[in-house]
Structure 1
Amino acid sequence: MNGTLQLIRLALRRDRVLLPAWLGMFVLLAAGSAAATKGMFPTTESVVAAANSMNGTPALVAVYGRIHDPTSIGALAMLKALATGAVILAVFSIIVVVRHTRSDEESGRRELLGAGVVGRHAPLAAALAVAAGANIVLGLVTSLSLVGAGLPADGSFVFGLAWTSVGLAFAAIAGITAQVARSARGATGLAVAALGVVFVLRAVGDTADVAGPRWLSWLSPLGWGQQFRPYAGNRWWVLLITVGFAVAAAGTAHLLAARRDLNAGLLPDRAGPATGTLRGVFGLAWRLQRGSLLGWTVGFVAYGLLVGSVAGSIGDMISSPQAAELFKKLGGDNALTDAVFAAMFGFLGVIASAYGLQTAMRLHSEETELRAESLLATPVSRARWAASHVVIALAGTVVLLVGAGLAAGTVHAAQTGDVSVVGEVLAGALVQIPAAWVLVGIAVAAYGLAPRLVVVGWSALAVFLLLGELGPMFGFDQWLMDLSPWAHLPKVPGSAVTATPLLWLLAIAAAGLVTGFAGLRRRDVV
């Protein structure tokens, strides 16, 4: 463990922008959800009606979980934040741990550090400590913000513990996958796959009847977060399960780390073909990105199926005017079903933007890890090399949204017997593409002008997301909310499509791409 404290300081310095930005986003999301929902349900009767409607809709229970106390405004207000925030927090914890373990090995930093007075287990211990500290701080600050928003103090601190426990569990899971896989992408993929499995376990357990397999929820770290039951029983003792699992998983990760070589994983390397099969620089980019695109596509299609199921049963909630108003405020302004599709596809548009950013920023990692230099020493031009990854980023966002739109539309058509709804639902997914491309354009422009500005893309995504989530809640000025590209998208289905804002977004995206390519031609390669 020699050098662990020094590596923790190094990791905190490297993440001095990333960690506060993520933590601030989570805190604002939780506090904003509490402040916005409290005013929508002024009486206990309205809270009970909305909670019973949601608990009576299996698709919503599968996505967000169950409200265990229908009379609790806190349980109703924080239902979505508890479930959605836990999933995003799990991804955040995975990214932090993999970044400071397997990514450092892949880039060669781990070997350099290991040549000094640094113990074999110090990097893993430091990564887990940073992730654990970030989750603990997040839980504490979130709890205080919820108390400030007017929710009961005991339930607020249990809510913070629920988020913290999920983050700790997936930080430990990422520690294990970082030893199993040989690459950072492989480690992240395995951890995210585990997240998908435990999400399904939690969904099946929560939607089961009394005689069904409700025990499946207790096999999932996401289920443990739900079982804290903030504002609806406040089960503090669940922390013993989550901390016990995190400690056991972290210990397993250290045992596995002692059984592998540096830069190697426990999974055996797969032998490649005897002869090369790549077709130019675009073929290389596709080979590097295809696994990631496949995984994202599977996730989007699965979420699209859930969206279609939710929309098909949303009519059961019309008996609760407050619940109907909640979904109409989230997106769309016509039928309740259209509002659900518009809100869900708005969320998918943000996630698709994250995929586009990740894919386009592969340019930065290829350059800093000196692989781009080898390619550019050949007749391959800088523009052609950059285009190979940018095209996949742009086309990949289309594939993701089309897959989700077709899946949701097909399920909804099967439930309603109306085939024409497939096109309407698909249109709701397609209108998200220009906004996602704007984020790709911003990222490419920042990368082309200066590699150190690579975080601008992710920062823009966080700012736009906060404007969209908190702007309507706190009444921000319209000019400020208009900075987000999603503020200009039509709420489809449910409203007419106007081409002008979509064309402006495409023009902004194109301007960003042109700026990035021009900057890349003029600057030095790192």
Structure 2
Amino acid sequence: MSTGSSTLAGTGALFRFALRRDRLRLPVWIAAGTFMVVTQSISSQALYETSADLAAYRASVGSNAATIALAGPPVGLDTVAGAVAFEISATVMLIAALMAMFTVARHTRADEEAGRTELLRSARVGRHAPLLAAVLLAALACGALALAIGAATTATGLPAPGSFALGAAVGACGLVFTGITAVAVQATGHTRGVYGLVGGLFAVAFVLRAIGDIEGNWVVWTSPIGWAQATHPFTDDAVVPLLLCLAVAAALVVAGFALLDRRDLGSGLLQPRPGRPAARRTLLSPLGLAVRLHRGALIAWTVGLGLLGVVYGALAESVETLIGENEEALALFGDPDVDQLVDAYLGTTFAVTALLASAYAVSAVLRARGEESEDRAEVLLATATSRSAWLGSHVLVALLGSALAMAVAGVTTGLVRAAQTGEAAALGRMVGAAVSYVPAVWVVAGVAVALFGLLPRVAAAAAWSAVGLFLLITLFAESFDWPGWVSDLSPISWVPTLPLEEWTLAPLAGLVVAAAVLLAAGLTGFRQRDIALG
């Protein structure tokens, strides 16, 4: 048997096993992405029935920097199909990227951490087989998502070529992040590190794409999301961007295999620094240990949201230019004060930032679940450390860390805005607008704590599902004209859209009370239940 074939021995069996393990997960991802596109298609066809409706829509979003930053290039807005692709493609590409990331990491790095890969390698399984099986499964899922989107969108009445081009663009984006994850699992020795690295790269790609689309320059071609959206479904149905995605994805997968040969099983190329001979005094308390465990993630999230604030603040000037020079847009909005539209844009960006801060808060709370399931919490709780002190330390870091991240985002946005306008008061306004979302973020963290305390075995899946639900409500409730009670399910929607609207105490106080109730329920449940391993 040749060396090449021996390193791939057992790939087929591992692929079938991975497919069986994900027989429920992947259909959910595919159904979610397809459902969003179908819902957007049906909604858009109902909203834009006449050419006048489309003209008004085009005048509104074609010069709206916030919408362009969140959605993509304003291409093909003279047709309903083009409007569908514009509004939904970025969100579904996020779903494809996350699906690819979780699939590859679950069957490679996570299995290595759990010791399953070492057990499999003791049989007739080649060194490259687990990675190849994971990549093939992720590629199959991306292909299935692409076909499902194409077929379902065609069924709603949109042109078939453009529908399948939209599906292909989404699938191609997922394939690129399949390759990125194949490299990331070689770089870091922990699954959390893989998620952080790939998630950070997606955020960078999203920001680069937003800058390129708003400014209309070459920067968009530095982002794989920009490549996929350059397909321009229902308008150009371009093939070259898809080929670029496929080529880069293939190159990344090859790089992943090359890097795999340069590391030991269970380790990563980026080795952690050796620890101190003796622990610091700060590590002798539950809070000190929690801060140490969360330090890296907190710094990364805070820096990331701070940089995002810089980008959002810088783009505010483009909003003034785009709208101030667009007579159609000014007429559509009733010749408003341009500053009000800029404030509306900034309010939208802070809502998105709050969703990201919520994701950090949930990941921080679920770190406690990881410590429990991997039997490290039980060792600590066998000492004089109480359950309330142990869990409370993790929760406190999650709450204060998310508040810090929001404040930093407000400061960076405010500094950029103050430099643009020459008004020092802009800094305070932006910080206040950002911090006003902190109670809503704490409610999301409270949901995760309550699930951890009461339903530990499903806490991770349920908490991230809640984040996804709040994301959908925040981004799509208004455009899909969902009932008010649906919008009210998201704590983000309870926060006044500062700096556009007036600050009010009642909803924020209600969010604080709701967060306190959820936190108390979680802490009480944890004190009364058994330790849940695995």
TM-score of the pair, normalised by structure 1: 0.87
| Contact kept in structure 2, 1:228 and 1:236, CA below 8 Å | yes
Q: Give 2:292's match in structure 1, choosing from 287, 291, 304.
A: 287
What code does the residue aligned with 1:301 have? G
Aligned to 2:121: 114
What code does the residue aligned with 1:264 have? S
Q: Flag the 1:252–1:46 CA change in 2: closer, same or farther, 3 A.
A: same
Could you give the per-residue CA deviations for residues 265-293 of structure 1, whole angstroms, max 9, x where no partner exists? 22344222333223422222212211111
What code does the residue aligned with 1:493 have? P
Report the Cα offset of residue 177 of structure 1: 1.5
Could you give the per-residue CA deviations for residues 208-255 of structure 1, whole angstroms, max 9, x where no partner exists? 77xx7x3x6445422321321222311124332222222232222123
Aligned to 1:337: 342
Report the Cα offset of residue 355 of structure 1: 1.1
Give the match's secondary structure for 1:335. helix
Q: Give 1:96's match in structure 2, choosing from 86, 98, 103.
A: 103
Aligned to 2:133: 126
Instruction: Spell out the pairing of 1:313-462 with structure 2 (5 A cutoff).
Output: 313-315=318-320, 316-317=322-323, 335-454=340-459, 455-462=461-468
Aligned to 2:37: 30
Q: Give 1:521's match in structure 2, choosing from 504, 523, 527.
A: 527
Aligned to 2:3: none
Instruction: Spell out the pairing of 1:123-522 with structure 2 (5 A cutoff).
Output: 123-196=130-203, 198-199=205-206, 202=209, 214=218, 217-277=220-280, 278-315=283-320, 316-317=322-323, 335-454=340-459, 455-522=461-528
Give the match's secondary structure for 2:385. coil
| Contact kept in structure 2, 1:442 and 1:456, CA below 8 Å | no
Give the Cα separation in 1 of the matches to 2:200 and 2:466. Answer: 27
What code does the residue aligned with 2:390 have? W
Give the Cα separation in 2 of the matches to 1:512 and 1:327. Answer: 41
Report the Cα offset of residue 165 of structure 1: 0.8
Give the Cα separation in 2 of the matches to 1:195 and 1:481. Answer: 27
| Contact kept in structure 1, 2:61 and 2:67, CA below 8 Å | no
Could you give the per-residue CA deviations for residues 72-105 of structure 1, whole angstroms, max 9, x where no partner exists? 5544443353345434543442233223211221
Which shows bigger deviation, 400-409 or 229-238?
Answer: 229-238
Aligned to 2:63: 53
Q: Flag the 1:468–1:63 CA change in 2: closer, same or farther, 3 A.
A: closer
Give the Cα separation in 1 of the matches to 2:496 and 2:221. Answer: 41
| Contact kept in structure 1, 2:29 and 2:95, CA below 8 Å | no
Could you give the per-residue CA deviations for residues 187-214 of structure 1, whole angstroms, max 9, x where no partner exists? 33333444455456556665677xx7x3
What code does the residue aligned with 2:379 have? S
Report the Cα offset of residue 431 of structure 1: 2.3
| Contact kept in structure 2, 1:3 and 1:117, CA below 8 Å | yes
Q: Flag the 1:440–1:411 CA change in 2: closer, same or farther, 3 A.
A: same
Give the Cα separation in 1 of the matches to 2:326 and 2:38. Answer: 24
Give the Cα separation in 1 of the matches to 2:309 and 2:422. Answer: 18
What code does the residue aligned with 1:175 have? A
Report the Cα offset of residue 161 of structure 1: 1.1
What code does the residue aligned with 2:526 have? L
| Contact kept in structure 2, 1:62 and 1:207, CA below 8 Å | yes
Q: Flag the 1:471–1:208 CA change in 2: closer, same or farther, 3 A.
A: closer
Q: Flag the 1:205–1:493 CA change in 2: closer, same or farther, 3 A.
A: closer
What code does the residue aligned with 1:239 have? L
Which shows bigger deviation, 472-481 or 169-178?
Answer: 472-481
Give the Cα separation in 2 of the matches to 1:326 and 1:524. Answer: 60
Give the Cα separation in 2 of the matches to 1:371 and 1:325. Answer: 62
TM-score of the pair, normalised by structure 2: 0.86
| Contact kept in structure 2, 1:11 and 1:100, CA below 8 Å | yes
Report the Cα offset of residue 167 of structure 1: 0.8
Report the Cα offset of residue 459 of structure 1: 1.8
| Contact kept in structure 1, 2:453 and 2:523, CA below 8 Å | yes
| Contact kept in structure 1, 2:37 and 2:88, CA below 8 Å | yes
Give the Cα separation in 2 of the matches to 1:494 and 1:462. Answer: 26
Unmatched tracts of structure 2, length 5 or more:
1-7
Report the Cα offset of residue 479 of structure 1: 2.9
Give the match's secondary structure for 2:63. helix
Give the Cα separation in 2 of the matches to 1:324 and 1:149. Answer: 33
| Contact kept in structure 2, 1:324 and 1:336, CA below 8 Å | no
| Contact kept in structure 2, 1:47 and 1:72, CA below 8 Å | no
Give the match's secondary structure for 2:477. helix
Could you give the per-residue CA deviations for residues 298-357 of structure 1, whole angstroms, max 9, x where no partner exists? 2211221222223333233256688679999xxxxx932222122221222222111111
Q: Flag the 1:197–1:397 CA change in 2: closer, same or farther, 3 A.
A: closer
Give the match's secondary structure for 2:478. helix
Report the Cα offset of residue 135 of structure 1: 1.8
Q: Flag the 1:422–1:78 CA change in 2: closer, same or farther, 3 A.
A: farther
Give the match's secondary structure for 1:490. coil
Aligned to 1:331: none
Which shows bigger deviation, 301-310 or 199-208?
Answer: 199-208
Q: Flag the 1:203–1:335 CA change in 2: closer, same or farther, 3 A.
A: closer
Give the Cα separation in 1 of the matches to 2:315 and 2:38. Answer: 26
Give the Cα separation in 1 of the matches to 2:333 and 2:400. Answer: 30
Aligned residues with identical type, % of pairs: 38
Give the match's secondary structure for 2:51. coil
| Contact kept in structure 2, 1:25 and 1:466, CA below 8 Å | no
Give the match's secondary structure for 1:456. helix
Report the Cα offset of residue 47 of structure 1: 5.9
Give the Cα separation in 2 of the matches to 1:378 and 1:76. Answer: 60
